[in-house]
Amino acid sequence: MVKVTLPIFFKTEESKRQELIKGDDYSLEDYCKERKMIFYNIACIGPFEEDGKIKYTSIFSNGEEFICPLPIKEVEKIIDAIV
């Protein structure tokens, strides 16, 4: 079984509060914690846009979306190196 370890943004109580307060001005990088996750199944990846710019990568696994703080090209290289 192939595994891929990637950093993922996780919401905290503070980040959830800031998201409610700031709305569109909310930034994942400013308010979410990064934690490493190990994926055994990645269905697909795609660009994730914030502030009108593609900054991060959406990772889809088992019906869930995870946001990785790395650019999509870097995530692609990591996955390609393992597979």
The pLDDT tens digits for 14-65 are 766 776 776 667 677 877 889 999 999 999 999 999 888 899 999 999 999 9
Per-residue pLDDT at 74 exceeds 80: yes
Range of the domain at 42: 4-82
The number of folded domains in the chain is: 1
Long-range contacts of 26-29 (CB under 8 A, 24+ apart): 27/51, 28/56, 28/67, 28/69, 29/55, 29/69
Give dist(CA 40, CA 27) in Å, integer.
Answer: 28
Cβ count near 53 (within 10 Å): 8
Cβ-contact 44, 54 below 8 angstroms: no
Give dist(CA 22, CA 43) in Å, integer.
Answer: 32
Query: What element of type H or E holds 81?
Result: helix 72-82
pLDDT of residue 73: 96
